[in-house]
Chains A and B, each alone.
Chain A
Amino acid sequence: MSGLDTASTSTVPPVPSLDVEALRRDFPILSQTVNGHPLAYLDNAATSQKPQVVIDAILGYYQEYNANVHRGLHELSRRATDAYEEARGTVADWIGAPSPRELIFTKGTTEAVNLVASSWGDANLKAGDEILLSELEHHSNLVPWQLLSERTGATIRYLLLDDDGRLILDDLPAILSSGRVRIGAIAHVSNALGTINPVAEIARQLHQAGALFFVDGAQGAAHHPVDVSDLGADFYAFSGHKMCGPTGIGALWARRDILEEMPPYQGGGEMIDLVGKEGSTWAQLPHKFEAGTPNIAGAIGFAAAVRYLDAVGPESILRHEQALVRHALAELGQSPGVRLFGPSDARGRAGVVSFRMDSAHPHDISTILDREGIAIRAGHHCAQLVMQRYEVGATARASFYLYNTVEEVDRLVRGLDTVRSIFGGA
């Protein structure tokens, strides 16, 4: 899989390291103080911050060429349509999609999962069929499939997690041997543990069993160079806001032949060809799946974020995140009373570090760190199956992105001293 930090890098050109201080100046929000301390924003798996170029792209649309797309014959509508469709191409290129017509703009990853579960799922699944999920999925890649299961009678099978936060792939052949699995839906990267899943291998086995593969890329495309063909995905979903873009915009990529067969997800304007009293015919891809006026500004901002990340270099961003994770794992591993979750080897994980302390609950850790200007997440991270697997109610989670520094990780580690000074512990 591309993008993994492997030992055999001698034959590939070196990946340039990031000039983080320069990058930070691109993000106006990062220069503020919180509770009297410089903001250390370590909650990027929840949402990322936005560079000025993204903010400007959204502003520029509203100030200069706001109009509806694909409808008007006037100049502003033409400019808005061009920008919207150009954004589609830019976002499609980011994941190596063979054609922008296979790229559907959605509200985000969640809507993309719901779109596939409803449209493809309702048309193709019946009682007795099986859906493969895993224990590390975010609720957004669980609940839509559970609803589909209730509607169709299809049953759900789960790949389980081992103690190191990795999916137990050895179980996969036995699960697939039922011959009933029609689709697998697995995260590219776990939002709760940071685990980078071996999606190409999962794809190979699913395809061998005649099943399709949906990859939840919410934490993937943002932190990891993606080529959907290399991954062997049939569907790939991701969100703009996790990767420096605005909220309310995401994308679903799927193979064209699958999209052509799928019925529409929502009805409305934009998605029709001809409308009659007895029925209607559907627009060509991708518009068949984009009912109503789309999030035009969002798509334009999303594309600006993609161009920004592309200029910085996705390989460099992943290396940077993994360097921060390696440092965090080493430091937190020595921090008294700290229990770490997820892969112990930084090479197998993206920029997410989940942990607990023996003396203080994750919410208390988060409140105390917040007083020092350090923003982390505490809770179940919308991944209650992960929490159940490790028999905890919640974890504290620090998640990194291109603009985070080693110094911020050190502040996080020192902040745990404050936690211990209040709650006790070594």
Chain B
Amino acid sequence: MSTPDVQLTSLYQQLILDHYKKPRNRGKLEDGTVEVHMRNPACGDEIRLQLKVEDDTIRELRFLGDGCSISQASVSMMTSILKDRSLDDAISVARRFTGMMHGDAEAAKDRTLKDLRALQGVSKFPIRVKCALLGFDALQEAIRQSRPVGHEEEEESP
């Protein structure tokens, strides 16, 4: 039996496999206010994210998806910390997480990212970073669609 090397064990932490096998908030909302379907055309991973947004706050969220452990665990972790958070909070989580994926060590220490911090090892696998960001791409698009027209978040380059 082959044993995985250190980089693999840091990539595939138990918490990630747990979210992959038992995704949180998987399903559909009957009363969602926005739905975004995001695909990674290069590899076929896809995520359908639904939010119920009231008063600039995410009251409820669900996702359906198909793809690798990283993309599906990432979106599961993301949904598990965003309930009852403001849209601004959610944007800030997305930015912290994106920073961590691009090697920002400070972002990786941010405890508010909770389970998402387990994905830190993905930053060592540049090809897989886009997998981890797919759910956040869907989130940012859903937030953009939830904002009234004219409310544009300033773009922050990674």
A residues contacting B by CB (< 8 A) are: 35, 360-364, 367-368, 371-372, 378-380, 384, 387, 393-394, 414-415, 417-418, 421-424
Q: Does B7 contact A (CB under 8 A)?
A: yes
Cβ contact of A361, chosen from B7, B46, B69, B125, cutoff 8 A: B69
Q: Name the distance in Å between A396's Cβ and chain B's nearest Cβ.
A: 11
Give B63-104 interface residues, CB cut-off 8 Å to A. Answer: 66-70
Inter-chain contact A393/B125, CB cutoff 8 Å: no
Q: A393-B66, A394-B45, A417-B1 are in contact. List 5 more A-B contacts (CB 8 A).
A: A363-B43, A364-B12, A371-B8, A394-B44, A422-B4
User: Contacts of A362 on B, CB cut-off 8 Å?
Assistant: 68
| Complex Cα–Cα for A364 and B68 (A) | 6
User: Contacts of B1 on A, CB cut-off 8 Å?
Assistant: 417, 421
B residues contacting A by CB (< 8 A) are: 1-5, 7-9, 11-12, 17, 21, 42-46, 66-70, 125, 127-128, 131
Identify whether the interface residues of A are mostly helix, strand, loop, or mixed: helix
CB<8 Å pairs between A and B, sample of 27: A35-B5, A361-B67, A361-B68, A363-B43, A363-B68, A363-B131, A364-B68, A364-B70, A367-B127, A367-B128, A368-B4, A371-B7, A371-B8, A378-B43, A379-B42, A379-B43, A387-B44, A393-B46, A394-B44, A417-B1, A417-B2, A418-B8, A421-B2, A421-B3, A422-B12, A422-B17, A423-B69
| Complex Cα–Cα for A17 and B68 (A) | 40
| Complex Cα–Cα for A393 and B12 (A) | 21
Q: Name the distance in Å between B62's Cβ and chain A's nearest Cβ.
A: 19
Q: A378-B43, A393-B45, A423-B69 are in contact. Are A367 and B11 (CB under 8 A)?
A: yes
User: Contacts of B17 on A, CB cut-off 8 Å?
Assistant: 422-424
Inter-chain contact B128/A363, CB cutoff 8 Å: yes
Inter-chain contact B125/A367, CB cutoff 8 Å: yes
A-B contact count (CB 8 A): 69
Q: By CB atoms of chain A within 10 A, which of B2, B7, B46 has the most?
A: B2
Residue on A nearest B128 in the bound complex, by CB: A367
User: Contacts of A380 on B, CB cut-off 8 Å?
Assistant: 43-44
| Complex Cα–Cα for A384 and B66 (A) | 14
Q: Name the distance in Å between A378's Cβ and chain B's nearest Cβ.
A: 7
Q: Name the distance in Å between B128's Cβ and chain A's nearest Cβ.
A: 6
User: Contacts of A363 on B, CB cut-off 8 Å?
Assistant: 43, 45, 67-70, 128, 131
| Complex Cα–Cα for A414 and B3 (A) | 11
| Complex Cα–Cα for A69 and B21 (A) | 60
Q: Name the distance in Å between B44's Cβ and chain A's nearest Cβ.
A: 4
Q: Name the distance in Å between A180's Cβ and chain B's nearest Cβ.
A: 33
Q: Name the distance in Å between A337's Cβ and chain B's nearest Cβ.
A: 14
| Complex Cα–Cα for A379 and B7 (A) | 22
Residue on A nearest B6 in the bound complex, by CB: A371
Q: Name the distance in Å between A411's Cβ and chain B's nearest Cβ.
A: 10
Inter-chain contact A414/B2, CB cutoff 8 Å: yes
| Complex Cα–Cα for A223 and B17 (A) | 39
Q: A384-B44, A423-B17 are in contact. Are A393 and B67 (CB under 8 A)?
A: yes
4 residue pairs, one from A and one from B, having the closest CB atoms: A363-B68, A418-B2, A361-B68, A380-B44
